Chain A
Amino acid sequence: MSDPINANPTIIDISNLPSRINNDKELDKNKQLINKITSLSLISNENPELIDDSTSEESEEDEEEDPIDEQEIFDLISSISDPEHPLTLAQLAVVNLSDIELKQVGILTEVLIKITPTITHCSLATLIGLGIRVRLERSLPARFRIKILIKEGTHQSENQVNKQLNDKERVAAACENEQLLSVISQMLSTCK
């Protein structure tokens, strides 16, 4: 790629990004400490068993309720790579947990994501939005209606980008463009 559009973006450390795993760890700090100590002792098999139990219980619950929350949406898109930096969208604060909103509309679920481009004239905003949309369309059930908007006041041609990103037909046609699709695939290759 030629000259980067934003050469010096602000970067967030990965360990400071919101995640369910981190939160759980924080809550259970004391337990962890105890676990660590006990694992050092002679009782050896207890620790892995405990972890196994808790994860299997969680996944059973998931199957019953299928609770997709803001954190899960964030997890799906946070690890998408920026098209010009070797960093993720979350590290660049393009996507933020607080800018994801879920709303139930009858049998449908609306997910509204506001993205913050790193600079106000970022020409890659549309591409980033498209990458997020493709990632979510591939991962979420059909009942989701995905709305992606540029966060107010963070981009020169906000309305133009918004309109394009939420036009079903334009998105479908763009996704049939092989060149574009390969760029998006590259952005999504860092997703877990």
Chain B
Amino acid sequence: MVSLLKSIKAHNDKVWNINSHPTLPLLATASTDKTSKIFKLSSLQNFPQLTVLEDTHKRSIRAIEFKPTVKNSADPSFVDLPALALGSFDSTISIWGIDEPSNIDLIDESEISNHEVELLTNASNEWNLIAIIEGHENEIKSVSWNWSGKYLASCSRDKTIWIWETDSETLEEFECICVLNDHGQDIKHVTWHPTKNILASSSYDDTIRIYKQDVDDDDHWSTIGILNGHEGTVWCSKFENPDSPMSKENRIRLVSVSDDLTVRIWSSEDKENEEASELPSSIKHRSEELVWELDCILPTAHSYPIYSVSWSDKTGKIATCGSDGLIVIYKEVSDGNWEIENMKEASHGVYEVNSIIWANTIEGDEILITAGDDGYINFWEVQG
């Protein structure tokens, strides 16, 4: 069963994208109305709005992603502050974050986590513009942080992916260290592997490309896979989290959704460990190409383009949404064998649904969140 917990009219125009913070109960939106809003993921508090990020982008905000939480092992009192990146059709990226709450130092170290969450998700925190990043020629379609928060990837209709390096704690400077221009067309989406410096890009050229950071050159990424098979624009893809219940060691899996109405799972053997030990450094400066195979095509459910997909690290379930307004939840009943577990029709009435994510509330429940052309954010409870 998929039941509606809450529906919020967040924007007066399309919501293109939503994202939740990896560790804090925060949700952020990106809209055609050139604003982004941040909500607290608390069902008891009725998902209150914390702030609006505005007056910065001249055109639609297309993409949003929170920076992952940085842990500093050398300094246990270090508190990582929430920050996010917005990508806009105006071809720029903006970086936003909060100042350190003034009372955070007073807290005893052992208590830090509970209080920290309250302080960092408080509505009194002011979100400030930290940086504006320019470089792309035209519309930015997607932005994504790597697992450590050191690299930010962005992609555009200009057919390029830029990888920006920053100091993940201060976010002071963003330097472009690499431009990937292998796609023949508009690039729709980029996403990083949850624990490795591996990036996947989805394109209007119907392919997905996988890149990996070179072993001896941090500023160079090599293509380690080209996934051919989709017969239409690939709108979105997501890696399986290694913590996910069905994940296997030495196997990387990726799910992708497309204009061709299919949901595909691709997999590859992860040779990272062998590579490091067996090859002499002189010949391993480039990451080795991995063999990618189409694992399976999930049962068909959508009747119009599929725009977004999310792979739960908690349950391993995959959720999809798109132009037909349908939410589909897939469950892997045995290795490589997927079934439709749940469906919800007209999740935003007759409107198209642009983005879907699994997210955790402060109460500890995993919920599903969708965003539509109607400007609404819908929160769903899923019972298996």
Interface status of B313 (Cβ within 8 A of chain A): no
Interface status of B345 (Cβ within 8 A of chain A): yes
Q: A-facing mask of B121-157, CB < 8 A → 1, else 0? A: 0000000000000000001010000000000000001
Range of interface residues on chain A? Answer: 10 to 19
Indicate if the CB atoms of A108 and B204 lie closer than 8 Å.
no
Complex: how many Å from CA A172 to CA B259?
16
Q: In the complex, what residue of chain A is closest to B90 when comparing beta carbons?
A: A176
**Chain A nearest Cβ from B175, distance in angstroms:** 27
Indicate if the CB atoms of B60 and A176 lie closer than 8 Å.
yes
Chain A contacts for B325, CB-based, 8 A: 107-108
Return the contact of B350 from the options A108, A172, A176 (Cβ within 8 A): A108
**Chain A nearest Cβ from B110, distance in angstroms:** 48
Indicate if the CB atoms of B188 and A108 lie closer than 8 Å.
no
Complex: how many Å from CA A172 to CA B59?
11
Chain A contacts for B350, CB-based, 8 A: 107-108, 141-143
Chain B contacts for A167, CB-based, 8 A: 204, 233, 259
Interface status of A170 (Cβ within 8 A of chain B): yes
Interface status of B366 (Cβ within 8 A of chain A): no
Indicate if the CB atoms of A142 and B351 lie closer than 8 Å.
yes
Indicate if the CB atoms of B157 and A173 lie closer than 8 Å.
yes
Given known contacts A145-B304, A163-B204, is B32 in contact with A168 (CB within 8 Å)?
Answer: no
Complex: how many Å from CA A141 to CA B186?
29
Complex: how many Å from CA A85 to CA B304?
35
Interface status of A50 (Cβ within 8 A of chain B): no
Return the contact of B374 from the options A141, A142, A163 (Cβ within 8 A): A142
Interface status of B89 (Cβ within 8 A of chain A): yes
Indicate if the CB atoms of A107 and B89 lie closer than 8 Å.
no
Indicate if the CB atoms of A173 and B89 lie closer than 8 Å.
yes
Q: In the complex, what residue of chain A is closest to B304 when comparing beta carbons?
A: A145
Interface status of A66 (Cβ within 8 A of chain B): no
Complex: how many Å from CA A189 to CA B121?
50
Chain B contacts for A163, CB-based, 8 A: 204, 233
Chain A contacts for B351, CB-based, 8 A: 142
For chain A, residues 120 to 164, give those with C-beta under 8 angstroms from any C-beta of chain B.
141-143, 145, 163
Interface status of A53 (Cβ within 8 A of chain B): no
Interface status of A42 (Cβ within 8 A of chain B): no
Q: In the complex, what residue of chain A is closest to B32 when comparing beta carbons?
A: A172
**Chain B nearest Cβ from A162, distance in angstroms:** 11
Chain A contacts for B345, CB-based, 8 A: 106-107
For chain B, residues 306 to 339, give those with C-beta under 8 angstroms from any C-beta of chain A.
323-325
Indicate if the CB atoms of B352 and A168 lie closer than 8 Å.
yes
Indicate if the CB atoms of A145 and B323 lie closer than 8 Å.
yes
**Chain B nearest Cβ from A20, distance in angstroms:** 26
Q: Which 3 A-B pairs have the closest CB atoms?
A: A143-B350, A173-B139, A176-B59
Give residues in B with beta carbon < 8 Å to A: 14, 32, 59-60, 62, 89, 139, 141, 157, 186, 188, 204, 233, 259, 303-305, 323-325, 345-346, 349-352, 373-374
21 contacts between A and B (CB under 8 A): A105-B304, A106-B324, A106-B345, A107-B325, A107-B345, A108-B325, A108-B350, A141-B350, A142-B351, A143-B350, A145-B304, A167-B204, A167-B259, A168-B305, A168-B323, A168-B352, A169-B188, A172-B60, A173-B59, A173-B139, A173-B157
Knowing that A142-B349, A142-B374, A168-B352 touch, tell me 17 more A-B residue pairs with CB under 8 angstroms: A105-B304, A106-B345, A107-B345, A108-B304, A108-B325, A141-B350, A142-B351, A167-B259, A169-B62, A170-B157, A172-B14, A173-B59, A173-B60, A173-B89, A173-B139, A176-B59, A176-B89
